[in-house]
Amino acid sequence: MKVGVITDGKYGERAFENFKQVFETKWILVPDIPSTVIIDEEINLDIPECDLYISYVRHPDIILQLAELQKPLILGITPGMGLYQQAKAINAKVISPQTMCSLEPNTGIPEVDEFSHYFGKPEYRIDKDNEGNVGEVSVIRSSPCGSSQAGANFIKNKKLNIQNLQDLALHVCHECRAPRFGHTCDKEVSGIIHILSFTSNFEINNNPELKIFIDNLKKEYQTRVNN
């Protein structure tokens, strides 16, 4: 599958480096136009043919023009839900995940689902000791920016406790490339997603303090998703 990473130059470079380890990937640069500038006429974007496009473009008019390609399109940045709904009305194969690390292979769009078997909501394989603590950690599915690996590198061979999980989230957030604006862009949500994905490998019901911590994170995640 051929993947096109479309960017105005500010975001997407690290994701591109990760994607090309798995897919044939093209770096597609479009004009960097301030989002406050209204584009009266369509710009000649010269987009090469790909099976799936991932947009890190910030200008709403260019995003809508990309939707007109009628190809599967993942919006890595969406300045607002209204814009996403406009793009979706143009092209039913446009999706806008809450964050790029919340993407799962359940969209019903074959190209998106193939991509998200490898990149999206993090998935870990964890070796545990007899006490249930963390041993070696392998990343099965990574966030596009690669922050899942940073979290794995930090927590391997450590005890499973609240402090280490919070520090795991900090390492993820430090590496996270999500910008701090827009519906899909929240570093803190990325940290929560990684903790929840990581701890899904463990039985935590016999640790009341840890269970309360995880239950509260699940509630916080749902609150953020629904806002």
Looking at residue 184, its pLDDT comes to 41
Reported as a single tens digit per residue, the pLDDT across 199-211 is 999 988 889 999 9
What mean pLDDT is predicted for residues 94-102?
Answer: 91
H helix intervals, 50-186: 60-67, 81-90, 110-115, 147-155, 162-175
Q: What is the pLDDT of residues 127-136, one digit of tens each?
A: 988 777 899 9
For tokens 């999206």, name the residue: 120
Strand partners, 26: 4
Residue 22: in which H helix or E strand, if any? Answer: none
β-pairing verdict for 52-56 and 123-128: unpaired
Mean pLDDT of 57-75: 96
What percent of the chain lies above the pLDDT cut of 90? Answer: 67
The Cα diameter of the chain in Å comes to: 65
Do 14 and 141 form a contact (C-beta atoms < 8 A)? no
Burial bucket for residue 89 (CB in 10 Å: 0-12, 13-18, 19+) = exposed
pLDDT at 177 over 90: no
pLDDT classification of 173: cutoffs 50, 70, 90? confident
Residue 111, CA atoms < 13 Å, CB-side half-sphere:
18
CA 79 centroid distance within chain: 15
Residue 190 has pLDDT above 60, yes or no: yes
Residue 35: which pLDDT band, with cuts at 50, 70 and 90?
A: confident
Poorest-pLDDT segment among 55-64, 160-169, 218-227: 218-227
* C-alpha dihedral, 181 to 167 to 126 to 124, nearest 10°: 0
User: Has residue 181 got a pLDDT over 90?
Assistant: no
pLDDT at 44 over 60: yes
pTM: 0.88
Name residue, tokens 């463990």: 202
Strands 94-95, 73-75: pairing is parallel
Pick from 185, 179, 36: nearest CA to 101: 185
Going by C-alpha positions, the residue among 154, 221, 156, 159 that lies closest to residue 191 is 221
